[in-house]
A and B are shown apart, each in its own frame.
Chain A
Amino acid sequence: MPIMTESEVFDKFAQIVAKSLRIDVSQIAPDTHLTDLGAESLDLIEITMETETQFHIFLPDKSVLETAVEVFGPGVLERDGYLTGEGKQLLLRRMPDADAQAFAGEVAVRDLQHYFLRVDTWVRMIQGLAQYTPTECASCGGPMATSMGFRMKCAKCGQEITLRSGEEFNREWVREYYDREYRPQAAVSFTRPACL
């Protein structure tokens, strides 16, 4: 897929949001929160569907923190609703442009919701996933078109592929982070997460 710039993704995504929420596109800025625009839970579902259709991607159905908690086990990244040092470190690595200042004090899980619902968070996620969507068929070089749901089909030779889900990409990233950054530390301090 020709790599879209962040501002191209933003423009297209803002159109989707504006249409779904029946608001003017001028109300949408990168730092706007979708809920502040009046989006309800089902609006988010509709925005997700439309985004997946238009960008040919498969968005994750949970946050990267949630996926990471599954990999790390309970109580490592988050305890009683607050991020631990390890949790902050992981999220800052994942979101290099997040405000490091905001992670200085206590960070409650509910505060992260605001981050995950920001327009620019979505834009970066879309951009990241869209680069894995092929435009050309791997075997014959023909143009790929969406067929059903998360499947794409070559218009020339008919070969079909299934898009990988954002959840899978997140999990892969978390596993890699775990092996590279966390396990070496854990080995030194002789603590292992409960899940392993």
Chain B
Amino acid sequence: MNALGSLVYDSSVTQAYRLDAFPCAPELLAEMILSPDERGHWTSMRAVDKRRKEWLLGRAVAKEAVRLLLARELNLHLAPAEIEIVPDPYGRPLVSVAPPLRVATVHQPSISIAHSHGTAVALAVLDPEAQVGIDVESMTGRREDFEAIAFSPDERCLLAALPLDLRREWALRMWCAKEAVGKALGRGLSAGLRAFHILRIDPAGGEIEVELRDSALGQCPPLRGKFLNVYTARESNFVFAAIIHQQGAVRMRPSRQDILDYLLQKMGELTEDWDYPDPVRPESRLFTELGFESLDAVVLCTAIQEHYQTPMPFAELLAEIGQHQRDLSIDELTDFVNTHLGGPKGADSTRRVQ
């Protein structure tokens, strides 16, 4: 999941578990992590062993993703059994966290769960309005010709243009992308496979563009004329796809404003016990105004790379600043980070949507 982890950030957590790494007997795990209602469902499941175990693994991984997310973002520490996951009438999993006494309300994070061949993955996003979808498929034991039924002639052309050794993997990535979009919209692939049309694939970056058609548009009219960007990745024998769709816009990378907010918050933390008369502002300059020293700059740069899980050429930036004896404002730093996260330049470019 590291491969996906670096693509999906921004107040989200992705998590993956494997069946062969079950920490204890499934019955014991069920006792520990499930709510009373969930345990009722688990006990009454008539499915084969593999299916029951994967269901449990899916719950475990989703609860862990929500737990990590709430701890990191809201400093809220919950036990897995306090995070209940119930399907809505269409079958989409909804999180239901009972607010602890000291907190008035908790926004319920949005989640998506998927499992395949003994691996379960979950994606949790803090924004309760976000529509999130994740899918995973195993590369082993698939019929070569499933493409004939899963894809339209146009979509098969996209595959045919790829080098032979990539086709199988990309057929699965395209399948996962359709599933992830179906899950994000909450209705699965019920509108039919043709209703989730793949317009473009980017073998270098792993992105897949999906456009809704026919009855999928009927289920989700605001998406007419838009395309959805799905991030896909391969790790060992599994292929993953994920999408976070927020407020009518497709956003996976943070906006410039998100980056600025994060940097201001981070600067606030770093300089908490230093002695400043003024609050940290976008135009504050690191060295002359905030009293940064080179070591502080290195700490900040490391924290930024860690946060966005993306390496950026900070060494060159700092060297250039040293050479020209100039300072760096938080605004400029924001632009630098924004550029290296692949976002467009400029203050009002926020969303990567058509």
Contacts and interface: CB of A to CB of B under 8 A. Distances in A.
Interface string A75-119: 000001110000000000000000000000000111001000000
Contacts of A63: 190
Given A41-B179, A45-B146, A45-B149, A36 B89 contact: no
Interface size class of B (residues with CB under 8 A): 20 to 34
A108 B90 CA distance: 7
Given A41-B179, A61-B193, A82 B146 contact: no
B39 to A, nearest CB: 19
A62 B47 CA distance: 24
A23 B48 CA distance: 10
Contacts of A108: 89-90
Given A35-B47, A37-B51, A66 B215 contact: yes
B175 interface: yes
A45 B48 contact: no
B47 A49 contact: no
A109 B146 CA distance: 27
B350 interface: no
Contact of B149 (A33, A48, A66): A48
Given A36-B51, A61-B194, A42 B90 contact: no
B90 A81 contact: yes
Contacts of B89: 80-82, 108-110
A109 B90 contact: yes
Nearest to B91: A110
**Majority secondary structure, A binding face:** helix
B102 interface: no
Residue of A23, A46, A48, A80 with most chain B CB atoms under a 10 A cut-off: A46
Given A66-B190, A110-B90, A49 B146 contact: yes
B87 interface: yes
A42 B48 contact: no
Interface string B116-160: 110000000000000000000100001101101110000000000
Given A61-B192, A61-B193, A62-B190, A42 B91 contact: no
Interface of B: 45-48, 50-51, 87-91, 116-117, 137, 142-143, 145-146, 148-150, 175, 179, 189-194, 214-215, 218
Given A27-B48, A49-B146, A81-B88, 18 more contacts: A36-B45, A37-B47, A37-B48, A37-B51, A38-B50, A40-B137, A42-B137, A45-B146, A49-B143, A49-B148, A61-B193, A62-B191, A62-B192, A66-B191, A66-B192, A66-B215, A70-B218, A81-B89
